[in-house]
């Protein structure tokens, strides 16, 4: 990314980062919808095959897919994706907290995933904070 004068991200670079974050969210959401047992293994381990885990994986999937599509659509239309970034950050924060709480019972991998979710939340909040005023 190329900083613009004043140390802020250039508008084009910001859009690229938002697009990458949103596309990753769409990919994750699609994986949870299409292959909930496989995608859910990282979160739920061997419990990912249970009917309850499949339902929750698909619910997580549609949430992430819609947030990602909303952000991508806003960027493509030249609209402010700030609200979509906030929705993603809120979702990722809850994911990080839930994974951290479950780590003692589900294993250390959940702490890694909690870190990834927390990092994604921080990234989205930072991108939202740098939204130019319209």
Report the 3 state secondary structure along 110-126: HHHHHHHHHHHHHHHHH
Residue 22 lies in a domain: yes
pTM of this structure:
0.86
Residue 3 lies in a domain: no
**Residue 55, class by beta-carbon neighbours within 10 Å (0-12 exposed, 13-18 middle, 19+ buried)?**
exposed
For residue 60, give its domain range.
11-129
Q: For residue range 59-80, what is the model confidence (pLDDT) as tens digits?
A: 999 999 999 999 999 999 999 9
Residue 74 lies in a domain: yes
Residue 30 lies in a domain: yes
Domain count, the chain: 1
Residue 125 lies in a domain: yes
Confidence of residue 44 (pLDDT cuts 50, 70, 90): confident
Tell me the three state secondary structure of residue 40.
Answer: helix
Confidence of residue 1 (pLDDT cuts 50, 70, 90): very low
129 CB contacts (<8 Å, ≥6 apart)? none
């Amino acid at each position: 990314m190329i900083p613009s004068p004043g140390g802020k991200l250039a508008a084009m670079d910001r859009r690229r980062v938002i697009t990458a974050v949103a596309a990753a969210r769409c990919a994750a959401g699609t994986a949870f919808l299409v292959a909930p047992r496989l995608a859910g293994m990282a979160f739920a381990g061997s419990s990912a095959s249970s009917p309850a885990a499949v339902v929750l994986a698909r619910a997580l999937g549609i949430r992430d897919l819609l947030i990602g599509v909303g952000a991508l659509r806003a960027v493509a239309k030249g609209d402010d994706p700030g609200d979509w970034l906030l929705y993603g950050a809120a979702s990722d924060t809850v994911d990080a907290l839930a994974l951290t709480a479950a780590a003692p019972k589900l294993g250390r991998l959940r702490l890694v995933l909690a870190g990834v979710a927390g990092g994604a939340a921080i990234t989205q909040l930072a991108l939202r904070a740098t939204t130019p005023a319209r």
